[in-house]
Amino acid sequence: MERGARGEGWGGQSVAERRARQKEALGAGRAAGEPEESAAEAASRDCPHELGGEPADAAELPLKLAEVADAVLLLADGLAPIGMERVPLADAGGRVLGEALLARQPLPPFRRAAMDGYAVREADLAPLDKGDAVHLAVAGERRPGRACGQQDAPPPGSALRIFTGARVPEGYDRVVMQERTRRLPGGAVELDRPPGQPTHIAEIGEDAPAGAVLLEAGARLRARQVALLAADGRGEAQVRRRPVVAVVPVGDELRRPGQPLGSEGIYDSNSAMLAARVLELGGIPAALRPVPDDPRRLAEAIREAALSADLVVTAGGVSVGDCDYAHEAARLAGGRVRVDRMKMRPGTPTSAYRMPDGTLLAALSGNPSACFAGMELLVRPLLLRLAGRADWMPRWRTGRLAASLSKPCPYPRYIRSAVGEAEDGMALLLPLAGDRSGNVAAFARADALACVPAGGKGAAEGTLVRWLELDAD
């Protein structure tokens, strides 16, 4: 993992410092002669929702069956954007600006022609108002990046041939488009009608004055923002470091794509999806090999991942089955539960822990649809918060269901949907057919998650719902 290679950890801690914090939380450094704390004791001490596990601070009580927004706000409140670095402008695309960008110079830095044509003085055009043509001597030529001919103040009755982007000398009031002129034998130019508006001159600082805020800190640098940096003469950009997200898939049945599947295995699609989404969002994925359903081995994988990642995500083992060990493993690794399940379907078991060094662990379901929902609803905003994005909160929109849903649900349901448009311009959300909880093909066709409110009657066609665009970055 990249952060491990740099020897840095969460909040600027080194890997060694983070390891020491883990050992301290797990009972290292007890008084001489005192028996070593057992894993069960550590689990009880660090898990306030277990009997005997009272937290030292009431503010550390976890949210139980939390609303999605409440869970995100609670976890994000303890996160700070990670450090910054300077990168060449060619590598700045997709990165997050680490500081406000102030214009070093006015944009444009000189009076600039906005059209091909002739620079003229307003006083020389007065005869046009009486219907008379004007003949002007061409005193020189201006092209972008170079000047030829007349350089001083324009003499009365003269014009300057000029091209788009060239500097307009002082003394000229406007550029007349060449389509409104006629070149005469001998080199003069004729104007036979008033040029009208605009002047076709971009004045100094018209786009942005010197010192103006061009971009706020936390802006994602897309192509148009990179162009702005270049226009301001910047060869580098001060950006946030890309958060490293460790992805830990859990399950005896998981096989890596490309390996023989066997009679009982399934390919690990969850970690492939999570890693790809982290990359889309500007993070650095560090996908581990699948970890068996063993609490101690999973705890060790979580500990090691937390040493060199800014965020750890497990996929699988969060339910209440006999082979679901994610919660036990998180406690064995020293994690303190912060969110104990969430009001969402699919994905109610989704939870979150804070590790001893402060790293967050998001424990997602192994069910593909629930894992997908957990990524979008919980992991995405946390990752963007770590990345320093100003727009880290999800952007919910309003639309209408294009089909009814008869199934009731005690919690809000996040339905994978295709997005269309009604005649009035409002978005139409069509729930995907065949979208069972374990299916993967259905959500590959999805454009959105539509949030259907909790209730005992489902939702009728035409019901207003909130929805979240899935390709948003």
Question: Considering only the top CATH level, what class is 84-107+207-240?
Answer: alpha beta
What is the rounded average pLDDT of the residues 162-189? 94
What is the rounded average pLDDT of the residues 178-195? 92
The pLDDT confidence band at residue 21, using thresholds 50, 70 and 90, is low
**φ and ψ at 12, to 5 degrees?**
85, 0
Give the Å distances, CA to CA, from 83 to 125, 127, 238, 388, 391. 59, 65, 10, 9, 18
CA atoms within 13 A on the CB side of 2: 11
Collapsing DSSP states into helix, strand and coil, what is residue 360? Answer: strand
Residue extent(s) of CATH 3.90.105.10 domains in the chain: 84-107+207-240
Q: How far apart are CA 281 and CA 273, in angstroms?
A: 12
Q: Is the pLDDT of residue 241 over 90?
A: yes
Q: Is the pLDDT of residue 253 over 60?
A: yes
Least confident piece of the model among 17-31, 228-242, 298-312:
17-31
- Domain covering 396-469: architecture: Beta Barrel (2.40)
Q: What is the CATH number of domain 2-31+47-82+241-386?
A: 3.40.980.10
The pLDDT confidence band at residue 465, using thresholds 50, 70 and 90, is very high
More confident residue, 74 or 187: 74
Q: Is the pLDDT of residue 115 over 90?
A: yes
Domain 112-202 is found in CATH 1.10.630.10: no
Cβ atoms of 282 and 214 within 8 Å: the answer is no
pLDDT given for residue 19 in this prediction: 56
pLDDT in tens, 278-326: 999 999 999 899 999 999 999 999 999 999 999 999 999 998 888 889 9
Q: What is the CA radius of gyration of the chain?
A: 31
Q: How far apart are CA 293 and CA 322, in angstroms?
A: 10
pLDDT given for residue 48 in this prediction: 33
Residue extent(s) of CATH 2.170.190.11 domains in the chain: 112-202
Question: Quick one: which of 29, 247, 322 has its CA closest to 21?
Answer: 29
Q: Is the pLDDT of residue 142 over 50?
A: yes
